[in-house]
C-alpha cells in the first residue's frame, strides 16, 4: 500500500479559507486602528492626487476576488479523498467518479482530471494525455491568479506614480514663485510640504496595498499547489496499485 498521501492535508477542512479570514482580520484591525488615530483624515487632506483612493479601491476588489478564490479552493480541497478511501478500482459515469467509498463529482478539479485521464483504460500510459491533463489542472487551479499578481504590481506602480506627481507639485510651487520675501517663502514651503505629503503617502499606501494583497495571493497559490500535488499523488497511487494488482 502506497504511503505517498498523508492525512495531514485533510485534518482541517477549509483551512485555506480560515487562514485567509485570519489574515483579513488582522488587516481590518490595522485599518480600524489607523481610522481611530485619524490617519485616514491626514491621508485624505494631504494626498492632492487622490491616487490613494484608487489604490484602496483596487485593493478592495483584489481582496474580494481572493475571498471567492479561497472559498473555491477550500471546497476543492475538501472533496479530495483520504488515503484510506482510495481504491485501485475507479468507476466513472458522466457526473461522478467513485474511488472506493468516496465519490468525486466530475465538475470538481481533481474529479475532472481523473475522469479525462481515465486511469482504468488501456491507454492510461499515454504520456501526452497525462501531460495535457496536468496542464489543464494547473490552468484551472491557478489561472485567475495571474490577474491578481498583475494587480499587486499595479498597486506598487500607482504608488510610484503618486510619488512623481508629488515631486511635480513641489517643483511647480517653486517655479511659480516670482519673489523671495518672507510671505512668499512661507507659501512656497506650505505648497512644497503638500507635494511632499502626496509623494510619501501615495508611496506608503501603494507599498502596503501591494504587500498585503500579495500575501493573499501567495496563500492562494499555496492552496492551489497543494491541490495539484495531491491530485498527482492520487493519480500515481492509483497507477501503482493497478500495477501491483494480480
Residue range(s) defining the domain that contains residue 117: 7-244
Residue 153 lies in a domain: yes
Looking at the domain assignment, is residue 1 inside a domain?
no
In a domain, 127, yes or no: yes
Closest CA to 217 of 158, 141, 116, 146: 146
Per-residue pLDDT, 158: 93
The verdict on residue 62 lying in a domain is: yes
pLDDT category of residue 100 using cuts at 50, 70 and 90: low
User: Which H/E stretch holds residue 133?
Assistant: helix 127-142
SS (H, E, C) 39-102: HHHHHHHHCCCCHHHHHHHHHHHHHHHHHHHHHHHHHHHHHCCCHHHCCCCEEECCCEEEECCE
Choice among 46-50, 55-59, 132-136, 185-189 with the minimum mean pLDDT: 185-189
Please provide the average confidence, as pLDDT, over all residues in the chain: 77
Q: Which residue has the cell 475522469?
A: 115
Burial of 176 (0-12, 13-18, 19+ CB in 10 A): exposed
pLDDT at 213: 95
- Residue at grid coordinates 501526452: 128
Q: With respect to residue 2, please indicate whether it lies within any of the assigned structural domains.
A: no
Q: What total number of domains does the chain contain?
A: 1
pTM for this prediction = 0.79
pLDDT at 4: 44
Q: Of the ranges 18-27, 45-54, 106-115, 128-137, which one carries the lowest mean pLDDT score?
A: 128-137
pLDDT tens profile 163-211: 888 888 777 766 666 666 666 667 666 767 777 878 888 999 999 999 9
Q: Which range, of 34-38, 146-150, 231-235, averages the lowest pLDDT?
A: 231-235
Whether 155 is in a domain gets the answer yes
pLDDT at 149 over 50: yes
Query: Is residue 105 assigned to a domain?
Result: yes
Cell numbers for 239, please give them: 497507477
The answer as to whether 76 is a domain residue is yes
Amino acid at each position: 500500500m502506497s504511503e505517498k498521501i498523508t492525512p495531514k492535508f485533510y485534518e482541517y477542512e477549509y483551512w485555506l479559507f480560515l487562514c485567509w479570514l485570519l489574515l483579513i482580520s488582522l488587516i481590518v484591525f490595522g485599518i480600524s486602528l489607523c481610522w481611530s488615530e485619524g490617519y485616514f483624515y491626514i491621508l485624505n487632506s494631504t494626498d492632492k492626487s487622490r491616487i490613494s483612493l484608487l489604490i484602496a479601491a483596487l485593493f478592495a476588489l483584489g481582496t474580494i476576488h481572493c475571498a471567492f478564490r479561497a472559498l473555491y479552493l477550500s471546497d476543492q480541497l475538501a472533496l479530495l479523498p483520504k488515503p484510506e478511501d482510495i481504491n485501485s478500482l475507479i468507476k466513472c459515469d458522466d457526473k461522478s467518479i467513485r474511488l472506493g467509498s468516496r465519490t468525486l463529482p466530475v465538475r470538481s478539479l481533481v474529479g475532472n482530471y481523473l475522469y479525462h485521464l481515465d486511469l482504468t483504460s488501456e491507454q492510461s500510459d499515454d504520456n501526452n494525455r497525462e501531460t495535457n491533463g496536468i496542464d489543464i489542472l494547473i490552468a484551472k487551479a491557478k489561472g485567475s491568479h495571474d490577474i491578481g499578481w498583475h494587480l499587486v504590481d499595479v498597486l506598487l506602480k500607482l504608488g510610484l506614480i503618486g510619488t512623481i506627481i508629488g515631486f511635480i507639485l513641489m517643483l511647480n510651487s517653486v517655479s511659480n514663485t516670482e519673489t523671495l520675501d518672507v510671505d512668499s517663502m512661507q507659501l512656497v514651503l506650505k505648497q512644497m510640504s503638500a507635494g511632499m505629503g502626496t509623494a510619501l503617502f501615495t508611496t506608503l499606501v501603494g507599498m502596503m496595498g501591494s504587500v498585503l494583497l500579495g500575501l493573499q495571493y501567495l496563500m492562494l497559490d499555496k492552496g492551489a499547489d497543494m491541490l495539484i500535488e495531491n491530485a498527482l499523488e492520487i493519480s500515481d497511487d492509483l497507477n501503482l496499485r493497478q500495477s501491483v494488482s494480480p
